[in-house]
Structure 1
Amino acid sequence: MKIIYALLLILSISLPSLAQNKDKKSEKVVDSLYREDQFYAGVAFNLMTDMPKDGSQSGFSGSFDLGFIRDFPINKRRSLAVGVGLGVSSSSFGHNILISETGDGQDIVQPISKDIEYKNNRFATHLVEMPIQIRWRSSTPEDYAFWRVYFGVKLGYIYYFNSKFEQDDLTIKQTDVNALNRFRTAGFFSFGYNIVNIQIQYDLNPLFSGKVSNDTNKIGIKPLRIGLIFYIL
């Protein structure tokens, strides 16, 4: 009987201690200095604005971007932050602008006459870019699904450009166009909840400088991108 009482006494002392240790192990570690360092991937439809006279868009034009943004919180709740990142972007545009060159290497950039039939006419841009953002979010150290509003600018450089015009018996390809503005600046805005967000981006400087060939009309073209962006921790 004394042995039973002794065992009961030992259990009464050890069980609360074991339960306490179990509770400590199950406690979540809260990171009060968390950052929203995030990878992002976006897809968008491209609209060509500020087109030259008689210029028009045709077919599907789209873009894809991918990158990483470093988060720098600027308030105690960490709901406001500055984000600086690095990424790549690829865009394709269908249109009726002929991009070619003369025999002595001068640019030819002009709308194609409606009387001329062709199979395909597109150009593509590939950029390395640096997004700079002001970020607001409703996140907490324990909440990973939250509302966010991000806005800012993207600074970019077109490291590769190519255009292609196709007729039945003629193909014109260009990768080096003097009128192309390779340094890009765009305004950016995104908002949404959790991973999926809406993004809007508008180029602040035109893709091409100078005038349309044999005309006084500016070439211009400022892409407007509307689509989705996915933020992944």
Structure 2
Amino acid sequence: MTKRLLFCGWFFFLGFFCQAQPDSLSTKYREDQFFLSFSLQLQQENFNGLKQNGFSNNFQIGFVRDFPINEQGTLAFGLGIGYGYNRLVSNLQIDGRNDNTIAIAENNSKNLQTFSSLVLPISIRLRTSSFFKTDFWRLYGGLKYKLHFSPKFKPFYGSTFQNTNIRNNNTSVFLSMGYNKWNLCVEYDLNSIYTSQTLLPGGAMAEIKNLKLGLIFYFL
């Protein structure tokens, strides 16, 4: 219920501000943009033995509402909403009968973890644009608050089951830079993707933070 209320409230907030149309004679303008990103995920773990498969990736799509700070419109504050899908392939093994413990599979690096996210980005936006210029350099950075849902684990040999180790929410920092629609992006999780109850065989807490490197495309 909390996730639904937050989701609806965020949409209402963005929709309210989307009603205003800029004055065509004003130097202050908005860059309302849809974004689409594809990233490779590099897992940063606190234990030895993890072998990640090269097909671990992340996909995000969404919309950012632009709030100019200066008259030139080259500095702005952004609020957004989006959807993310995470695909992690490695030799981590989860026992469906004991969800709190993960282990390392010695001869298998193709176990699959997936989960979706409601992504809420907040950013500071620097750019070389103007009211009449749509091709420009940009540097955007900020925070993303993510609400995770539909976590699943599929062993290379076996059936898919619910992965209760994935935590319900996470926060990350991100930075994107580039020209026009083509931009490099980097994102790093500030928290582990696992709950504090997720343990290694020896009883230590298992922590994995994802580093995402990829491309992000912006569309007006």
Say yes or no: TM over 0.5: yes
Aligned pairs for 1:204-223 (under 5 A) are 204-208=190-194, 209-223=196-210
| Alpha-carbon spacing, 1:125–1:131, altered in 2? closer, same or farther (3 Å) | same
Q: Does 1:109 align with 2:96?
A: no
What's the counterpart of residue 20 of structure 1? Answer: none
Give yes or no for contact 2:53–2:109 (8 Å, CA) kept in 1. Answer: no
Q: Does 1:78 align with 2:73?
A: yes
| Alpha-carbon spacing, 1:131–1:232, altered in 2? closer, same or farther (3 Å) | same
Aligned counterparts of 2:75 and 2:143: Cα–Cα separation in 1: 17
Which amino acid in structure 2 is aligned with residue 196 of structure 1? Answer: W
Aligned counterparts of 1:119 and 1:186: Cα–Cα separation in 2: 26
Cα distance per residue 1:156-190 (max 9 Å; x no partner): 111211110023xxx0422141x321201010000
What's the counterpart of residue 21 of structure 1? Answer: none
What's the counterpart of residue 41 of structure 2? Answer: 46
Aligned counterparts of 1:146 and 1:230: Cα–Cα separation in 2: 13
- RMSD between superposed Cα atoms in Å: 1.7
Aligned counterparts of 1:174 and 1:219: Cα–Cα separation in 2: 20
Aligned pairs for 1:3-152 (under 5 A) are 30-102=25-97, 106-112=99-105, 114=106, 117-118=107-108, 120-152=110-142
**What is the TM-score of this pair, normalised by structure 2?**
0.83
| Alpha-carbon spacing, 1:106–1:156, altered in 2? closer, same or farther (3 Å) | closer
Identify which of 155, 161, 186 aligns with 2:151.
Answer: 161
Count matched residues: 196
Give yes or no for contact 1:138–1:148 (8 Å, CA) kept in 2. Answer: yes
What's the counterpart of residue 187 of structure 2? Answer: 201
Which amino acid in structure 2 is aligned with residue 56 of structure 1? Answer: K
Deviation at 1:76, TM superposition (A): 1.6
Deviation at 1:34, TM superposition (A): 1.4
Deviation at 1:51, TM superposition (A): 4.6
Which amino acid in structure 2 is aligned with residue 67 of structure 1? Answer: G
Higher gyration radius (CA) = 1
Deviation at 1:41, TM superposition (A): 0.4
Moved more, 47-56 or 90-99: 47-56
Deviation at 1:77, TM superposition (A): 1.4
Deviation at 1:98, TM superposition (A): 0.6
Aligned counterparts of 1:44 and 1:136: Cα–Cα separation in 2: 22
Aligned counterparts of 1:149 and 1:118: Cα–Cα separation in 2: 40
Identify which of 194, 211, 218 aligns with 1:224.
Answer: 211
Deviation at 1:81, TM superposition (A): 0.7
Deviation at 1:199, TM superposition (A): 0.4
Which runs of 5 or more structure 1 residues have no equivalent in the other structure? 1-28
Deviation at 1:118, TM superposition (A): 4.4
Moved over 3 A (4+): 117-120
Aligned counterparts of 2:95 and 2:129: Cα–Cα separation in 1: 51
Aligned counterparts of 2:89 and 2:166: Cα–Cα separation in 1: 17
Identity within the alignment, %: 32
